[in-house]
Amino acid sequence: MRGADRSGDGPAPSRSTGVASSGGHVIHLVGRLTDEVFSFLGPATEALTGSGLAQTVVIVDDLRYRHQLHRFHDDIDLVLIPERGSRLLRWQASMQTLREVLAKHDDVKAMHLHGFLPSLIGSYVARSLGLGVPMYYSPHGSKSLGSLHRLGSLMLWCLKPVIGSLRDLRAISSLSQEAKALHTLTDTQSIEVAESPVSEAFFDVDRHEVHHPLIVTGSRCHDPRAAELFAQLAVLLSDKALRLSFNWIGRTDQNSQVRLRAADVSVYDVREDSDLASRLAAGWIYMAPGRTRGFPVFLAEAMAVGLPCVAIDTPDHRDVIRHGETGFLCRNEEEILYSIAQLIDTPGLRAAMGAAARRTARQRFSEARFRDSLLSAYDLPTGPGGLSPLSPLLPSIGGSGLTSATPAAPPPRSPTPAGAIDLSPL
Q: Higher model confidence: residue 161 or residue 360?
A: 360
Quick check: pTM over 0.85? no
pLDDT at 2 (0 to 100): 45
Calpha distance 168→377 (Å, rounded) = 15
Confirm whether 25-193 and 200-365 share one CATH topology: yes
Q: How far is CA 320 from the centre of its chain?
A: 11
pLDDT at 159 (0 to 100): 41
The mean per-residue pLDDT over the stretch 287-301 comes to 87
63-94: b (≥16 Cβ within 10 Å) or e: eebeebbeebeeebbbbbbeeeeeeeebbebb
Nearest alpha-carbon partner for 286 in 332, 236, 326, 253? 326
The mean per-residue pLDDT over the stretch 151-161 comes to 45
* Confidence grade of residue 423 (pLDDT, cut at 50, 70, 90): low
Is the pLDDT score of 240 beyond 90? no
Is 404:392 a contact under the CB 8 Å cutoff? no
The angle, 0 to 180 degrees and rounded to 10, between the axes of the packed helices 176-185 and 149-163 is 60
**Strand positions, DSSP E, 131-282:** 135-138, 170-173, 190-193, 214-219, 245-250, 266-268
Nearest alpha-carbon partner for 172 in 138, 146, 220? 138
* Confidence grade of residue 139 (pLDDT, cut at 50, 70, 90): confident
Is the pLDDT score of 391 beyond 50? no
pLDDT at 83 (0 to 100): 84
pLDDT in tens, 171-220: 899 888 777 777 666 666 688 999 999 999 999 999 999 999 999 999 88
pLDDT at 410 (0 to 100): 47
User: Taking the alpha carbons of 87, 147, 294, 268 in that order, is the dihedral positive or negative?
Assistant: positive
Is the pLDDT score of 9 beyond 50? no
pLDDT at 40 (0 to 100): 95
Nearest 5°: CA angle at 118, between 115 and 121? 155
Is the CATH number 3.30.310.50 carried by domain 25-193? Answer: no
Percent of the chain with pLDDT over 90: 56
Nearest alpha-carbon partner for 87 in 57, 119, 117, 127? 117
Is the CATH number 3.40.50.1000 carried by domain 200-365? Answer: no
pLDDT in tens, 44-93: 999 999 999 999 999 999 988 898 999 999 999 999 999 887 888 888 99
Domain residue ranges in the chain: 25-193, 200-365
Is the pLDDT score of 11 beyond 70? no
**Strand positions, DSSP E, 83-189:** 108-114, 135-138, 170-173
Calpha distance 283→281 (Å, rounded) = 6
Is the pLDDT score of 157 beyond 60? no
Is the pLDDT score of 250 beyond 70? yes
The secondary structure of 52-100 as a DSSP string is T-EEEEEEEE-GGGGGGGGGS-TTPEEEEEE--S-HHHHHHHHHHHHHH
Is 20:379 a contact under the CB 8 Å cutoff? yes
